Amino acid sequence: MYACINGATTMPYTLEQDLAAAATAGFEAVEIWSRKLDAYLEEHDSVELKALLDSHGLCAASLCPYGLVGFADNRKELESIERAATVAAAIDCPVLLVCADAPPKGMDRDEAFDTMAAAARTYAERAAAHGVKIAIEPLGRHPFIPGPREALEVIDRAGHGSLGLMMDFFHYYKSGVTFEDIRAIPAELLLIVHVDDCEDLPAESLTDQHRVYMGEGVLPLRNMLGALREKGYSGALSVEIFREEYWKNSPVEISTSAKAAYDRMMEA
């Protein structure tokens, strides 16, 4: 497993600032936030981005987030996926991270899974043409895909080798995902992991703004990391923390604090 930082952790700052701060803090990889990528590409191209990553000694673990739209017109989102996959291929980024929409009220659940699986298959086909995979992100208490079971059901029905899922400690905790559920995720389908911690609040009250640095909250981080080690997961552990209090600091201060907390937890 290797240390990564997500662009949400340093949300107010540019992609260039994110990369410089990540390198200064000692991260090995970054997840590039899609809005920052779009802003960067207004004046630069993917060749320049690859050179910038290389100059900082960083790799890109994912581009994120993108919408996985299965229950509405998704032509716009598919165009975004096509563009993102082209960039990802150019910078040797293996994964595009997507978050799903939810079915309309009253839709049969079996039909909903088939509908989402068809959309996910189309996304995967677009990404696979560029050698890139799609990771589905379960969201805490989401009405349709709150955890890995539901994501795996979509992946199974879609039947495409370029689909996988991700694990986010905060979202899995918020959804009440069990360690048995985590252990049941096939290792080859777990494409990326978000690491974080959160305040001691009822799950239904938690929002992204309640995330804190690793070791400063109530998540059973050692057990979660232990489950990943048991599974043989060797990919990115990406620090993703949405917290306005932290965003008041410089990108280097945020990234350095995030890496220090990450290191303490990994060494414990």
- Predicted confidence (pLDDT) per residue in 250-262, tens digit: 999 999 999 999 9
Taking alpha carbons only, the member of 106, 110, 101, 107 closest to residue 69 is: 101
Q: What local confidence, expressed as pLDDT, does residue 59 receive?
A: 98
Distance (Å, whole) CA 235 – CA 240? 15
DSSP state of 222: H
- Ranges of residues in the chain with a pLDDT under 50 are none
Predicted confidence at residue 268, as pLDDT, reads: 75
pLDDT value of position 125: 98
Half-sphere exposure of 119 (CA within 13 A, CB side): 27
How many domains are contained in the chain?
1
Round to the nearest angstrom and report the end-to-end CA distance of the chain.
Answer: 15
Looking at residue 234, its pLDDT comes to 96
Dist CA 138 CA 68 (whole Å)? 11
Going from the C-alpha of 39 to that of each of 114, 126, 148, 183, the distances in angstroms are: 35, 23, 32, 39
Q: Which long-range contacts (CB under 8 A, 24 or more apart) does 258-262 make?
A: 258/5, 258/9, 258/25, 258/213, 258/214, 259/3, 259/5, 259/25, 259/26, 259/27, 261/213, 261/214, 261/215, 261/216, 262/3, 262/195, 262/214, 262/237
Find out whether 138 and 110 touch, Cβ atoms under 8 Å: no
Per-residue pLDDT tens over the stretch 206-236: 999 999 999 999 999 999 999 999 999 999 9
135-162: per-residue pLDDT in tens? Answer: 999 999 999 999 999 999 999 999 999 9
Beta strands, E only, the chain: 2-6, 29-33, 59-68, 95-100, 133-136, 163-168, 190-195, 197-198, 211-212, 236-239
CATH number of the domain encompassing residue 214: 3.20.20.150
Q: Which residue in the block uniquely carries the two structure tokens 């009440």?
A: 176
Which residue range forms the structural domain that includes residue 261? 2-267
